[in-house]
């Protein structure tokens, strides 16, 4: 059903959804390998949605892998069917993008080696040799990791979209280039931008739901809703419910895993 709203163009897929199709939309911040936190926030979303009639949508804002202990389990879960009564769209985060590049042998993906890839490798059963360090030139490690990641996981990551638009609300991983029309936004900005977007906001008549920039508390304003609450460090995974134009937060607070 979601494919009918896919917007064609270069780069990653993007979706423009009608504003009246879903009765409620839930956006979930960066998971980073925290499988148990994901299960718990999803259960809270389902419970919250029980009181809302009509179809509902969960939008995952990216960064499913790295840093936390169970990246592979997170991907297995997100590839399965969403809860009854919900659709689900998973956006690509910069960590997901870099990990895919690393697996595919693109030097751009070597960035992930210093940003949590070791935990992702371990979640797939890949351990470093005694005393070894993560090195981009370690092609044997790259091959071992590639062999352990199921083709279905690589296909899932490769197909992830970079943006969803629902009426005046925009859902991306990192943010948007301030003032640039949505149709002209690059995938690189949608996955990686930080300071200029945080300081200036969207610069467009829209509200942007995003993760990527960790904060002690979620931020909600008329211009942006920031939902990365550092789950892999704090155990706090945050979602925002968009219902009748209003935004309310749902938080899972507990152990990191």
Q: Work out the angle at residue 1's Cα, subtended by the Cα atoms of residues 207 and 149, and round it to the nearest 5 degrees.
A: 85
What is the C-alpha separation between 62 and 60, in angstroms, rounded? 6
Per residue in 66-116, pLDDT (tens digit) is 999 999 999 999 999 999 999 999 999 999 999 999 999 999 999 999 999
Q: What angle, 0 to 180 degrees and rounded to 10, lies between the N-to-C axes of helices 71-79 and 151-158?
A: 70
How, if at all, do strands 24-28 and 56-60 pair? parallel
The answer, yes or no, to whether residue 199 has pLDDT greater than 90, is yes
What is the C-alpha separation between 30 and 45, in angstroms, rounded? 16
The answer, yes or no, to whether residue 42 has pLDDT greater than 80, is yes
- Tell whether domain 16-93+162-253 is in CATH 1.10.20.60: no
Tokens of 82: 């969403």
Per residue in 129-181, pLDDT (tens digit) is 776 788 999 999 999 999 999 999 999 999 999 999 999 999 999 999 999 99
Percent of the chain whose pLDDT exceeds 70: 99
**CB neighbours of residue 113 within 10 Å:** 20
Domain segments of the chain as ranges = 16-93+162-253
Q: Name the burial class of residue 177, with classes exposed (0-12), middle (13-18) and buried (19+) by CB atoms within 10 angstroms of its CB.
A: buried
């Amino acid at each position: 059903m979601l494919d009918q709203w896919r917007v064609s163009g270069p780069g990653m897929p993007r979706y423009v959804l009608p504003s009246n199709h879903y009765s409620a939309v839930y956006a979930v911040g960066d998971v980073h390998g925290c499988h148990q936190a994901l299960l718990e926030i999803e259960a809270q979303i389902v419970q919250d949605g029980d009181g809302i009639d009509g179809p509902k949508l969960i939008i995952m804002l990216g960064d499913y892998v790295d840093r936390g202990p169970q990246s592979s389990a997170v991907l297995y879960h997100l590839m399965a069917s969403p809860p009854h009564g919900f659709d689900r769209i998973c956006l690509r985060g910069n960590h997901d993008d870099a990990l895919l590049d690393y697996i595919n042998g693109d030097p751009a993906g070597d960035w992930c080696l210093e940003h949590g890839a070791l935990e992702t490798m371990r979640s797939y059963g890949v351990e470093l040799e005694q005393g070894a360090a993560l090195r981009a030139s370690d092609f044997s490690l790259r091959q071992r990791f590639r062999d352990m990641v199921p083709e279905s996981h690589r296909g899932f990551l490769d197909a992830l979209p970079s943006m969803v638009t629902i009426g005046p609300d925009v859902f991306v991983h990192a943010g948007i280039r301030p003032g640039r029309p949505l149709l002209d936004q690059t995938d690189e900005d949608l996955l990686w931008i930080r300071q200029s977007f945080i300081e200036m906001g969207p610069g467009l008549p829209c509200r942007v739901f995003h993760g990527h920039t960790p904060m002690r508390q979620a931020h909600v304003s008329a211009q942006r809703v920031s939902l990365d609450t550092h789950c892999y460090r704090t155990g706090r995974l945050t979602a925002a419910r968009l219902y009748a134009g209003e935004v309310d937060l749902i938080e899972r607070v507990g152990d990191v895993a």
